[in-house]
Structure 1
């Protein structure tokens, strides 16, 4: 079961293993306007200035349409994620260091493809979309009706959130959420037909 850290209504899934320290990933860097500070087991994300903005605030940004090619580039990972015993990686750490999640080679390949194929979109204001993303985590059946742009927003939110909350992506793989996103993309792709 996933737990969530909650800061000003911004949520991130924490792995059920309970090994997350709530500290910044060594690889993550914040710009000068963002604030981040460890608070026990909480991940404190940079927040938007206007906390009353609507959840779908990024809908006015022009996100390019998702193409068949983008979907085709990541669908080959679906059978791998469905395999019995698939593991996204493992937690590492040494005494005196904060633990980190080391992705398996397959997971790194998948995340690389997600990034290269523009599934992580700079047009998505993910910090403003976290509450909506949480509804897809809490109610997985919502994914069954998600369109390709929603899947893109979810990928963006999860990949970006992992930079501020070490283990977020691990929890998304562990819970089966990433698998459900790929299954939904397969259904969407089938509906697109061939060129």
Structure 2
């Protein structure tokens, strides 16, 4: 994970071919019907019950690997960033209007929150917000690239 104050410089240094690894996931996400399922909850031979857990689809794992490989999930106090929670909770949020840095901060909230609330990441894929965030990163990146080319 990258420090927040280094994020902007890092994002501008990512090659287009590397960005395309993330953007190549979009059609696969769009085609996926189920992003995970609950496993466990079974009674074990000793009488105890195995705790239920979310088993995510391969596309979710591909996404996690890709954002880790691109190092685009910044370190910051995500739990206290109320604006980020508001953006994610509001179904009317237009992610296309947000900066790539803000979108990456939202990724931090989603990925980190999943560690404390198993299934949160899967729910963000299921409700379409993760797809919207990735698409917004793509749009933002393309607009930034065009501005850089015009200079």
Q: Which category of TM-score, normalised to the shorter sequence, fits these structures?
A: 0.7 to 0.9
In structure 1, the residue matched to 2:87 is 136
Using the size of structure 2 for normalisation, the TM-score is: 0.77
Contact 2:96 2:140 in 1 (8 A): no
2:57 equivalent among 75, 82, 104? 104
Contact 1:140 1:177 in 2 (8 A): no
Using the size of structure 1 for normalisation, the TM-score is: 0.61
State the SS of the aligned residue for 1:98. Answer: coil
Distance (whole Å) between structure 2 residues aligned to residue 184 and residue 174 of structure 1: 17
Runs of 5+ unmatched residues, structure 2: 43-48
2:22 equivalent among 71, 74, 80? 74
Contact 2:7 2:74 in 1 (8 A): no
2:127 aligned with 1:175, yes or no? yes
Distance (whole Å) between structure 2 residues aligned to residue 139 and residue 145 of structure 1: 14
Distance (whole Å) between structure 2 residues aligned to residue 170 and residue 140 of structure 1: 20
RMSD: 1.9
Per residue, is there more helix in 1 or in 2?
Answer: 2
Residue 164 of structure 1 deviates from its aligned partner by 0.8
2:77 equivalent among 118, 125, 140? 125
In structure 2, the residue matched to 1:45 is none
Distance (whole Å) between structure 2 residues aligned to residue 152 and residue 72 of structure 1: 16
Map 1:21-100 onto structure 2 (within 5 A): 62-65=5-8, 66-67=11-12, 68-69=14-15, 71-83=19-31, 85-95=32-42, 96-100=49-53
In structure 1, the residue matched to 2:45 is none
Ranges of 4+ aligned residues in structure 1 off by more than 6 Å: none
Residue 191 of structure 1 deviates from its aligned partner by 0.7
Aligned residues: 132
Distance (whole Å) between structure 1 residues aligned to residue 66 and residue 125 of structure 2: 16
Residue 169 of structure 1 deviates from its aligned partner by 0.5
Residue 132 of structure 1 deviates from its aligned partner by 1.7
Contact 2:78 2:109 in 1 (8 A): yes
Contact 2:7 2:72 in 1 (8 A): no
2:114 aligned with 1:151, yes or no? no
